[in-house]
Amino acid sequence: METITSAVQAIQERDKEIHAFLEVYENNAKAGIVVAVKDNILVQGKRVSAASKILEPYTASYDATVITKLKEAGAIIIGRTNMDEFAMGSSTENSAYGPTKNPHDLSRVPGGSSGGSAAAVAAGMCDVALGSDTGGSIRQPAAFCGVVGLKPTYGAVSRHGLIAMASSLDVIGPITKTVADAKKVFDVIKGRDPFDSTTVESESGIMNYELRKKENIRIGVPREYFKEGLDPEVEASVKKAIFILHNSGFIIQDISLPHTDYALACYYIIMPAEVSANLARFDGIRYGLSKKSDDLLEVYTKTRGEGFGKEVQRRILLGTYVLSAGYYDAYYAKAQKVRALIKRDFQKAFEKVDVIVSPTTPAPAFKFGEKSNDPVEMYLSDIYTVSANLAGVPALSVPCGTTKDGLPIGIQFMGKWFGEETLFEVGKKWEQLRG
C-alpha cells in the first residue's frame, strides 16, 4: 500500500512527464488507501470537468455514491485523473487538457478513456484508481499500462454521481495493481443505491455466485476472438496463458459467440444515440461554460462549438442522426435487436462454461498520433471489450505478459452476470501461475 507521502512523492517525480492527474488535492490524512478518481466522477467541493472545456468551471455539489462508500471505508482521495473528453476515446488523446503518456513508454498512449487512472496506478502514484467503462474504458487502459481493471456487472455499482456518457452501458470500476485489490474495492463500492434504480442489492444472494472447485471451473475460448487483426505477440501471449491454465486443472472449451462481428457496429450506434441525449443538458444555460449572446440559439451553438472537442461533436452528430425521423428504425432499433442477440450469445455460452477468456485488446499500446486521425481505426481498439458492455456481464483484465519491446499485454476474463467472485478466483489463480 502506498502511503500518502510516497504517493505524493511519486506524483511530484513522474507526473510532469506522464500527466496522469488534472488536479492533486491537498490532504492532511496520515494513513489509508490512496485513491485517484477519474475526472467524470463527482467529489464534493472539487472541480470536475470530464476533461472538457465546457465543464471547466464546474464544482461538484455532492459526492458520487462510490466516493461516499470509499470515504466511509477510510480511503484518501488524492486527486482527479485525466481522461478522454466525456469518456469518448481509446487513447486519452481527446482530453481538452493534453494527453496522458504511458509509464512504460512515453511515446505511447496509456489507453482510454480512463488513461489517467491506469497510468497513475502503473506509475505508483496511488494504490487504486476509479475509472468508468462504457465500451472498454477501464480494461483497455489497464491492459496497455500493465495493471488490473474490472468492469463490474451492469447494476452492481451505482452510477449516481458519474457524468453520463451512455447510460445503458456505463459502469464504474477499479483499476489496481492486483486482482485481490480489485476485489477489495469492488466489495466496498458495490450494492444497491436508492439514487440509481438500475442497481441491485449485493446481499440478496444474486452476487454470491456459487463457486465450483477451482480445478473444475470451465473456461470458454471464443473462436471469433482469435481471427485476423490480432497482433501475433498478443495472440501468442494469451494462448500461452490459456495453455498454462489448462495444465493447472481448468477445463478449457472451444465456444462460439456468433454475433461478435456485429458488436462494434452495434455499439457505435447505441452509444452515440445515448451520448446525443445525455449531452443535450450542456447548453450554456444551467452550468459550466456559457457564451453570452442576444440570441438563445447562438448561446447554444457558441457554447457547444467552443466547449466540446471534435470527437464529442462527432459522436453527438452521429447519435442525433441515428435517432432522427426516418433513420431510427433503420439504425437504432435494429442495433437494439442485435444487442439482444449478443446478450443471448453470452447466455448460451454460460450454459456450457463459467468464464470466457480472450485478449483484452487486439494489439499493445500504440504510438501517439498513430490512430487519432482515423476514428474507425481508433474504434477497433475496443473490438474485444464492447460485447461485455452490450451484454452487461462483468469483465476483468489482468496482465498477461509483455511484447519483445516491453509493452504490457492484457488477458480478459468475462463472467456470468454478477459472477465477479468467479472472475476474482480465476484472476488470482492466473496471477499465481504467472508468477
Q: Do residues 80 and 95 lie in contact, with contact meaning Cβ atoms separated by under 8 Å?
A: no
H-type alpha helices, 350-419: 375-379, 386-391
Express each pLDDT in 157-216 by its tens digit: 999 999 999 999 999 999 999 999 999 999 999 999 999 999 997 544 444 445 544 458
pLDDT at 377: 84
Express each pLDDT in 290-341 by its tens digit: 888 888 888 889 999 998 999 999 999 999 999 998 899 999 999 999 999 9
- The total of other beta-carbon atoms located within 10 Å of residue 308's CB is 23
Distances (CA, A) of 232 to 110, 117, 180, 409: 20, 28, 30, 11
pLDDT at 288: 84
Dist CA 27 CA 15 (whole Å): 18
Express each pLDDT in 72-130 by its tens digit: 999 999 999 999 999 999 999 999 999 999 999 999 999 999 999 999 999 999 999 99
Q: Do residues 355 and 415 lie in contact, with contact meaning Cβ atoms separated by under 8 Å?
A: yes
**What does the buried/exposed string (b/e) look like for 77-115 if buried means 16 or more CB atoms within 10 Å of the residue's CB?**
bbbbbbbbbbbbbbbbbbbbbebbbbbbbeebbbbbbbb
Q: 501468442: which residue's cell?
A: 236
Cell of 149: 481493471
pLDDT at 204: 41
Helix (H) or strand (E) holding 172: strand 171-176
Three-class secondary structure assignment of 236-283: HHHHHHHHHHHHCCCEEEEECCCCHHHHHHHHHHHHHHHHHHHHHHCC
| CATH tag, 4-204 | 3.90.1300.10
The set of catalytic residues is 38, 113, 137
Domain map (residue ranges) of the chain: 4-204
- Which of these ranges, 11-20, 54-63, 291-300, has the smallest mean pLDDT? 291-300
Q: Do residues 122 and 134 lie in contact, with contact meaning Cβ atoms separated by under 8 Å?
A: no
pLDDT at 1: 57
Segment 409-413 shows an average pLDDT of 98
Q: Do residues 54 and 307 lie in contact, with contact meaning Cβ atoms separated by under 8 Å?
A: yes
Does the pLDDT value for residue 435 go beyond 90?
no
pLDDT at 217: 93
Cell of 1: 500500500
Phi, psi of 252 (to 5 degrees): -100, 130
Q: What is the pTM of this model?
A: 0.95
Q: 456470468: which residue's cell?
A: 416
Q: 462510490: which residue's cell?
A: 66
Q: Do residues 366 and 109 lie in contact, with contact meaning Cβ atoms separated by under 8 Å?
A: yes
Dist CA 388 CA 222 (whole Å): 13
Dist CA 419 CA 120 (whole Å): 28
Q: Do residues 246 and 252 lie in contact, with contact meaning Cβ atoms separated by under 8 Å?
A: yes
Dist CA 386 CA 247 (whole Å): 30
Nearest to 253 by CA among 322, 342, 353: 353
